[in-house]
Amino acid sequence: MLPQRMKKAMTDNPKKLANLIDLVNLPSTLREFMGQSQTSRLGCFKRVWSYIKENNLQDPNNKNLVNCDEKLKSILLGKPQVELTELPTLIKLHFPKAPR
C-alpha cells in the first residue's frame, strides 16, 4: 500500500503536479523540435516518445535503447544513444524548477 500512497501524494501535491502539466515557455532548441513555443513536461515526454516510435529509433537488437537521429540528439544532450530508462530524466533537464 505504501508506494501507492506515495504516488498518490505525488499527484496530489499541487506543486509537483503543476511542474508536470503547466505550460512552459520552451528554450529555443526544444521549440524547434516540438514545433510549438509552449508545452508541459508531460506533453513534451509524450511527443518525444511518439517521435521515437514514429521514426523507429529503438535499437532493433535492444528495444530499451534509442539510437538518436540528429533532431533527437539536439534535445538529448547530443548523445548518440540513450536508454529509455533515462528518458524522463533527460527531458526534465529542459524544465528547470521555476525560480521563486
Partner 1 sequence: MGKLPPSLRSANFAVNTLIKTPSSSVPHSKIPSPSPPSTSKPHYFPKKSLSPKRKPTSNNQQPQLPSIVAFDSTTLSDAKTLFNSLISNPKNVPSDPKFYNSILQSFSSNSTLQDSIFFLNHMIKTHPPFSPDRFTYHVLLIQSCKSVDHSLSPVHQVLNLMTSNGFPPNKVSTDIAVRTLCSSNHEEQAIELVKELSSKDSPPDTYTYNFIVRHLCKNRSLSNMNSFIKEMRDGFDIKPDLVTYTIMIDNVCNSKNLREATRLLGVLSEEGYKPDCYVYNTIMKGYCMLSQGGEVLSVYKKMQEEGVKPDLVTYNTLIYGLSKSGRVKDAKKFLSVMMEEGHIPDAVTYTSLMNGMCREGDPLGALALLERMEARGCAPNSCTYNTLLHGLCKARLLDKGMELYDVMKKNGMKLETGSYGTFLRALCRNGRVAEAYEVFDYAVESKSLTDVAAYTTLESTLKWLKKAREQGLVI
- Using CB under 8 A as the criterion, which residues of the chain lie in contact with partner 1 when the complex forms? 1-4, 7, 10-11, 17, 20-21, 42, 45-46, 49, 58, 63-64, 83-89
Considering the complex, state which of residue 31 and residue 57 has its C-beta at the smaller distance from partner 1.
Answer: 57
Shortest separation between residue 65's beta carbon and partner 1, angstroms: 9
Shortest separation between residue 42's beta carbon and partner 1, angstroms: 6
Residue 50: strand, helix, or coil: helix
- DSSP designation for 94: T
Burial of 72 (0-12, 13-18, 19+ CB in 10 A): buried
